[in-house]
Copies of this chain bind each other. A is one copy, B any other.
């Protein structure tokens, strides 16, 4: 991790802040499938995504996992930032979807930078707002749409951030949408008949 790389990933920050990020941020490598944040876990640092994709879930009491959004390089885990700022516990489950590199910012720098660097405050607020928007879109999907519309939205957005064709099983989709595998299979079959998707084992191609 060097300065030019950092500037590309997180553009628009102040010069001394980049240096501070390099000096005080700790790079962490995680493997695909690793759990980064568990429900109820206390958060001790803010996380910026340098490389890889992180998947965020909401869990219910029975351990069901509902997908809420992805975090990509250049983004920050807003929850980790606000929780960190108040040393509270996590309310979501975060799992690395691919091998990933994170820049971990110790708690006390959050406060300091917030007042020292306007660009940091802007970054945090912007991150927050973006996550808020994602959450609102998620609410739209489940509040206003039927399962076939939700599935289409899901496939479209997954294909955008994860690439097309998608390497995923029907069971994983069902779990992300909190429905059953049979329902997903049936709806996918219908979509295939309308040429919206191409189906094969462990892969789905989104054709729009």
Contact = CB atoms under 8 A, between A and B. Distances in A.
B68 A140 contact: no
How many monomers of this protein are in the complex? Answer: 2
Contacts of A126: 82, 86
Contacts of A66: 139-140, 143-144
A183 interface: no
B133 A91 contact: yes
Secondary structure class of chain A's binding surface, majority of residues: helix
A24 interface: no
Nearest to A177: B143
Interface residues of A, number: 37
B92 A58 contact: no
A132 B90 CA distance: 12
Contacts of A88: 129
Interface stretch (A4-12, A13-21, A117-125): A117-125
A147 B118 CA distance: 45
Contacts of A128: 82, 128, 132
A60 interface: yes
Contacts of A133: 91
A139 B68 contact: yes
7 contacts: A58-B143, A66-B140, A66-B143, A83-B129, A91-B133, A111-B121, A128-B132
